[in-house]
């Protein structure tokens, strides 16, 4: 099989897909869509994702799959080893809850189209916009911290990484890229740093991608 992944070095949703593909040992070729330059709005890319956002994954010339969680679930169904969801239904729901706290509640409020709207339409200055971004980043982290504080194992759930760890890592790395202080969330940070010690996570890091600045 061959995978074409449309992404961007700084995209946290693409970061999720890179981690999952690395964990599952799937090779992919990444095509950069420069979100800062607005390439997501070009007609050519909109024909891949009409939502004008990355990631989009194309396998063997099939129709693109967009939405990082849909991609992760697809990969899990078709390439089940190693498993990124536990076997038991309640545990699966728990892992999905943690993942969606990031992907459905936290991250959508800080993506470029929202940031651009705050700047271009609502005329917020940079410091005020950062207050917005930090507020919503911390709101998701606060909820995750409550769930993860009682966890004594190495990951969000069980002894191996799951979708929850993938989403948590991307959210904390995103907060760090904005230089937010995440020390109020020690359980999250403990798990994230453990995950980032794994090659599959480390290799997928935004700052390791082509186009990323050398120093951040
Ligand atoms: N819910 C989508 C979010 C996709 C998304 O918004 N991606 C961002 C980068 S992380 C993007 O391409 N944004 C373009 C824009 O906001 O203009 C997912 O999980 O894939």
Q: Which long-range contacts (CB under 8 A, 24 or more apart) does 82-86 make?
A: 82/23, 82/24, 82/160, 83/160, 83/162, 84/20, 84/23, 84/24, 84/161, 84/162, 84/163, 84/166, 85/162, 85/163, 86/157, 86/158, 86/162
CA–CA separation, 6 and 30 (whole Å): 6
Instruction: Give the strand pairing for 65-66 and 56-59.
Output: antiparallel
Q: Which of 5, 31, 53 to mutate to test the pocket of ligand 1 (most atoms within 8 A of CB)?
A: 53
Residue 203 CA to ligand 1 centre (angstroms): 21
The tens digit of pLDDT for each residue in 7-39 reads 999 999 999 999 999 999 999 999 999 999 999
At 186 the pLDDT is: 98
Cα atoms found within 13 Å of the Cα of residue 196, Cβ hemisphere only: 17
- Strand arrangement of the beta sheet that strand 3-7 belongs to: 29-32, 3-7, 56-59, 65-66
At 216 the pLDDT is: 67
Question: Which atom of ligand 1 is closest in space to residue 114's alpha carbon?
Answer: 16
> What mean pLDDT do residues 2-9 have?
97
Number of H helices, E strands in the chain: 9, 4
Q: Indicate whether residue 112 lines ligand 1 (CB < 6 A).
A: yes
- pTM for the full predicted model: 0.97
The tens digit of pLDDT for each residue in 68-110 reads 999 999 999 999 999 999 999 999 999 999 999 999 999 999 9
Coil, helix or strand at residue 6:
strand
Question: Which atom of ligand 1 is closest in space to residue 54's alpha carbon?
Answer: 12
Q: Which of 54, 114, 206 to mutate to test the pocket of ligand 1 (most atoms within 8 A of CB)?
A: 54
Residue 213 CA to ligand 1 centre (angstroms): 20
Residue 72 CA to ligand 1 centre (angstroms): 15
Q: Indicate whether residue 68 lines ligand 1 (CB < 6 A).
A: yes
Residue 66 CA to ligand 1 centre (angstroms): 9
Question: Which atom of ligand 1 is closest in space to residue 111's alpha carbon?
Answer: 16
Question: In this structure, which residue's CA is closest to atom 13 in ligand 1?
Answer: 53
């Amino acid at each position: 099989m061959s995978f074409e992944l449309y992404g961007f070095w700084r995209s946290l949703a693409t970061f999720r897909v890179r981690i999952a593909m690395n964990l599952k040992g799937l090779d992919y070729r990444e095509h950069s869509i420069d979100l800062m330059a607005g390439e997501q709005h070009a007609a050519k890319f909109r024909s891949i994702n009409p939502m004008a956002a990355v990631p989009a994954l194309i396998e063997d010339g099939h129709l693109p799959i967009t939405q990082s969680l849909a991609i992760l679930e697809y990969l899990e169904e078709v390439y089940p080893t190693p498993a990124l969801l536990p076997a038991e239904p309640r545990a699966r729901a728990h892992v999905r809850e943690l993942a969606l706290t990031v992907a459905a509640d936290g991250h959508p409020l800080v993506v470029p189209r929202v940031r651009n709207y705050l700047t271009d339409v609502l005329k917020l200055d940079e410091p005020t916009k950062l207050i917005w971004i930090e507020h919503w980043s911390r709101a998701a982290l606060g909820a995750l911290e409550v769930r993860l504080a009682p966890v004594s194992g190495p990951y969000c759930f069980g002894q191996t990484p799951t979708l929850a760890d993938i989403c948590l890592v991307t959210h904390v790395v995103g907060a760090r890229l904005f230089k937010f202080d995440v020390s109020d969330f020690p359980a999250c940070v403990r798990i994230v740093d453990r995950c980032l010690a794994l090659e599959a996570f480390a290799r997928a890091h935004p700052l390791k991608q082509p186009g990323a600045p050398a120093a951040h």
